[in-house]
């Protein structure tokens, strides 16, 4: 499989999304061989994917990030089809981590997409490092070694984005700054971010790191929305008013750091999905009702709920199911009303003060 992608600006059919979200939207024209055999015939399929700027960078990214944590559960042909479908849908941003499958997920992805210089120019690669067995490690030595391993497995010379994966209690921000400088000057990493960090942890890094922090990957879903709830319940004596994250949502908006919600369909800490779950009858009834209105699936509405927030988030979807992947991407085309957003929020058991 070999794909070429042409990005075209200013299509009238997507102006309304650009105006509502203050973003640039692209149409992706994707060309694939009609047959995997020697043939000059091609077919053209056009899909729309809304894009945003990643943090303060100039990097335009699709509003849906494709998480590759479970790509090692697919066969070679399944992985190839999955990656091709993502590109067909305009989702050319792929999220990795050095610990996913012990590194195997990055290797499988590179093989599935048939990585070469031409392919590399048409995709956006993000990976994460810092988690080790039984510990976290943000030392300069570990960061540099991790990136070298990531690049080797992905068969590329550079990462578009590197995230520090969960906070390291023993972090020396001066070492992180040295590592980032080395990676940037060598061309191995173009943009930097964090994962699961609170405002003061980011501020500590920013004291020493000169590169902008463009993204923060955080757990967030309709049922795991404490970072939203504590802002709604200010000055209230209830559990929802407890600030567990240092107002990270407002902090990221103030500093133009893109929030990348992970596990957007999960409740608890990997306890399961809330869609179609008997534990959430009212929520599923409301989501299904709104999905029917827009003629989409419940999966689409769950992602659209995150995209409706004005923080301009980029959800990281982890599904390896082709149809669910397509449903997630359709959320780019859905703009929930304020009333619908709050109806879903309340149906998840959240009470407005």
What H or E segment, with its residue span, contains residue 294?
helix 281-294
Number of Cβ within 10 Å of residue 96's Cβ equals 27
User: How many Å apart are CA 331 and CA 7, to the nearest integer?
Assistant: 20
How many Cβ atoms from other residues are within 10 Å of residue 20's Cβ?
Answer: 12
Strand ranges, E, within the chain? 4-8, 25-33, 42-53, 60-62, 65-67, 93-95, 124-129, 131-132, 135-136, 159-165, 189-195, 213-219, 258-262, 266-267, 272-273, 316-317
Dihedral of alpha carbons 206, 211, 212, 217, sign: negative
Q: Which of 100, 251, 267, 345 is catalytic?
A: 100
**Strand ranges for 54-145 from DSSP E:** 60-62, 65-67, 93-95, 124-129, 131-132, 135-136
**CA-based nearest residue to 107, from 153, 152, 156, 158:** 153
100 is catalytic: yes
Cα separation, 276 vs 136, in Å, equals 35
State residue 160 phi and psi, 5-degree precision. -75, -40
250: Cβ–Cβ under 8 A, 6 or more apart, which residues? 231
Residues taking part in catalysis: 100
């Amino acid at each position: 499989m070999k794909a070429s992608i042409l990005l075209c600006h200013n299509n009238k059919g997507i102006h309304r999304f650009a105006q509502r979200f203050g973003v640039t939207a692209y149409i992706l024209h994707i060309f694939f061989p009609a047959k995997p055999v020697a043939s000059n015939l091609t077919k053209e399929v056009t899909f729309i994917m809304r894009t945003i700027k990643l943090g303060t960078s100039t990097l335009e990214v699709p509003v849906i990030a494709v998480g590759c944590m479970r790509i090692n559960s697919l066969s070679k042909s399944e992985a190839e089809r999955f990656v091709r479908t993502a590109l067909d849908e305009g989702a050319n941003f792929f999220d990795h981590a050095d610990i996913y499958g012990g590194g195997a997920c990055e290797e499988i992805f590179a093989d599935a997409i048939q990585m070469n210089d031409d392919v590399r120019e048409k995709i956006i690669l993000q990976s994460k490092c810092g988690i080790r067995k039984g510990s976290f490690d943000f030392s300069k030595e570990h960061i540099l070694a991790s990136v070298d391993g990531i690049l080797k497995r992905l068969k590329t010379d550079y990462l578009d984005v590197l995230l520090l994966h969960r906070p390291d209690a023993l972090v020396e921000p001066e070492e992180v700054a040295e590592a980032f400088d080395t990676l940037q000057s060598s061309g191995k990493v173009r943009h930097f971010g964090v994962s699961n960090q609170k405002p003061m942890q980011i501020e500590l890094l920013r004291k020493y790191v000169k590169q902008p922090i463009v993204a923060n990957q955080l757990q967030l879903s309709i049922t795991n929305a404490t970072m939203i709830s504590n802002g709604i319940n200010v000055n209230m004596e209830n559990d929802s008013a407890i600030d567990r994250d240092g107002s990270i949502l407002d902090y990221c908006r103030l500093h133009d750091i893109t929030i990348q919600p992970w596990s957007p369909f999960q409740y608890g800490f990997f306890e399961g999905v809330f869609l179609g779950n008997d534990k959430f009858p009212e929520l599923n009834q409301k989501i299904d009702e709104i999905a029917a209105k827009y003629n989409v699936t419940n999966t689409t509405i769950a992602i659209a709920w995150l995209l409706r927030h004005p923080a301009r988030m980029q959800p990281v979807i982890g599904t390896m199911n082709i149809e669910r992947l397509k449903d997630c991407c359709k959320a780019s085309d859905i703009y929930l009303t304020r009333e619908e957003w709050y109806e879903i929020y309340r149906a998840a058991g959240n009470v407005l003060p």
